[in-house]
């Protein structure tokens, strides 16, 4: 049966190949390292008494979880990286407190740009006005290449970019090798054949020579992704197509994004499946973290119940700047007529069983405070 054909102009698409891209070095940035990097030894601003109590409880939960060999997972929004907290996350990895980091597509990009050039965060208002927001060749070219190569190697989204930073590039097969692999695997392993075909398309379009593609990252020491990859600590990326500037680049491959993001979602879900007695930190993520957590926990409980197990002893801390006047511990879920109902991160986690706490705090104050408490013992 042949595939149906439709008129090419049935739903016209933009041609990204017509975009005028610029070198990343020409972009003005608002965040510059090392000046804006947060020193892990820095002092955090004091929190109110209620916040201090929640921090102390969280630190003890983390200590107990790690002593019992249970996971401590931390999902965060992109501002954690933009606010210069990469070095603090790295310290938490190095000291063994965090076993899994997760962020969205923007967090992946900011971490990569800081590793690559020591700067990130463009002026969105000004650059959209002149059609230059996100149209930076280096970011689109290298992150998309990292994802294409990573998908072919079977890596996830965060793994692909973390390895690309830590190893300062990647190894590429020849076009002939990839074409041969597509033919050899198309019947027995069509998914791997498709990943090889995607990378083949990029290799041909860019006329990339086989062998080592070296891309220096002179600021890699600030990269949480690179540190996680080097320590073999999971760092998963959870993007949404069209949300990030890499989709503006003609090298972007939706299938490579899909393969690597799905791999990372399943890595994340596997981590959640071991969370009984563990800790989950959700910091500054209004949508990504609660959405992937609830699906992962549902799948994990599905499997656990088949095995006669439960997942009920997990501790969840939600951290955000927004004030939450509703008492989620005492009063349960608010009615739909109450604005608190629409605080997605609180509502979702309050439904997940276990123990949930909410902390109103700047992410810099939270990460510095929790690191100090954990390192003091």
- Assign 39 to helix, strand or coil: coil
pLDDT of 231 over the 90 cut:
yes
Q: pLDDT band for 333, please (50, 70, 90 cuts).
A: confident
pLDDT digits (tens, 9 = 90+) for 76-124: 999 999 999 999 999 999 999 999 999 999 999 999 999 999 999 999 9
Q: What share of the chain is helix, strand, coil (3-state, %, to 5)?
A: 50, 10, 35
Query: What is the rounded average pLDDT of the residues 43-67?
Result: 94
List CB contacts of 359: < 8 A, sequence separation 6 or more.
47, 51, 54, 55, 58, 317, 318, 319, 366
pLDDT of residue 325: 74
Rounded to the nearest integer, the mean pLDDT of the chain is: 94
Q: pLDDT band for 8, please (50, 70, 90 cuts).
A: confident
Q: pLDDT band for 371, please (50, 70, 90 cuts).
A: very high
Query: What is the rounded average pLDDT of the residues 130-153?
Result: 97
pLDDT of residue 323: 80
pLDDT of residue 377: 65
List CB contacts of 159: < 8 A, sequence separation 6 or more.
150, 229, 235, 236, 260, 263, 264
Ordered alpha helix ranges (H), 28-136:
49-67, 79-82, 86-94, 105-117, 124-129
Task: Specify the pTM.
Answer: 0.94
Query: What is the rounded average pLDDT of the residues 276-288?
Result: 95
Q: Count CB-CB contacts under 10 A for residue 242.
A: 9
Q: pLDDT band for 324, please (50, 70, 90 cuts).
A: confident
pLDDT digits (tens, 9 = 90+) for 283-308: 999 899 999 999 999 999 999 999 99
Which one has a higher pLDDT value, 9 or 111? 111
pLDDT of residue 187: 96
Query: What is the rounded average pLDDT of the residues 314-338?
Result: 83
Q: Count CB-CB contacts under 10 A for residue 326.
A: 20
Q: pLDDT band for 328, please (50, 70, 90 cuts).
A: confident
pLDDT of residue 49: 86
Query: What is the rounded average pLDDT of the residues 261-287?
Result: 97
pLDDT digits (tens, 9 = 90+) for 341-353: 777 778 888 899 9
Query: What is the rounded average pLDDT of the residues 12-23?
Result: 94
């Amino acid at each position: 049966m042949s595939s149906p054909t439709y008129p090419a102009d049935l739903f016209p698409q933009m041609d990204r190949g017509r975009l005028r891209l610029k070198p990343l070095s020409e972009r003005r940035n608002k965040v510059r390292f090392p000046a804006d990097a947060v020193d892990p030894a820095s002092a955090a601003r004091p929190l109110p008494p209620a916040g201090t109590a929640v921090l102390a409880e969280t630190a003890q939960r983390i200590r107990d979880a790690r002593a019992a060999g249970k996971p401590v997972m931390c999902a965060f929004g992109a501002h954690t990286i933009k606010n210069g907290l990469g070095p603090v996350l790295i310290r938490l990895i190095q000291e063994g407190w965090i076993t899994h980091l997760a962020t969205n597509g923007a967090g992946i990009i900011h971490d990569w740009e800081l590793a690559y050039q020591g700067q990130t965060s463009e002026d969105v208002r000004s650059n959209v006005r002149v059609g230059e927001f996100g149209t930076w060749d280096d970011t689109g070219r290298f992150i998309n290449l990292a994802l294409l190569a990573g998908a072919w190697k079977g890596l996830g989204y965060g793994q692909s970019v973390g390895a690309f930073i830590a190893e300062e590039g990647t190894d590429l097969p020849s076009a002939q090798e990839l074409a041969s692999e597509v033919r050899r695997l198309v019947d027995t392993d069509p998914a791997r054949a498709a990943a090889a075909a995607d990378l083949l398309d990029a290799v041909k379009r860019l006329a990339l020579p086989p062998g080592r593609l070296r891309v220096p990252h002179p600021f890699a020491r600030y990269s949480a992704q690179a540190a996680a990859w080097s320590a073999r600590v999971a760092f998963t990326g959870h993007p949404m197509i069209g949300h990030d500037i890499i989709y503006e680049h003609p090298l972007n491959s939706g299938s490579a994004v899909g393969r690597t993001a799905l791999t990372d979602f399943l890595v994340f879900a596997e981590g959640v499946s071991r969370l009984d007695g563990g800790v989950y930190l959700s910091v500054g993520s209004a949508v990504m973290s609660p959405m992937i957590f609830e699906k992962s926990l549902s799948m994990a409980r599905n499997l656990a119940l088949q095995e006669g197990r439960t997942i009920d002893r997990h501790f969840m801390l939600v951290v955000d700047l927004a004030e939450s006047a509703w008492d989620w511990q005492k009063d349960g879920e608010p009615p739909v007529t109450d604005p608190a109902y629409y605080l997605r991160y609180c509502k979702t986690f309050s439904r997940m069983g276990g123990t949930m706490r909410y902390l109103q705090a700047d992410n810099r104050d939270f990460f510095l405070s929790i690191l100090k408490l954990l390192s003091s013992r």
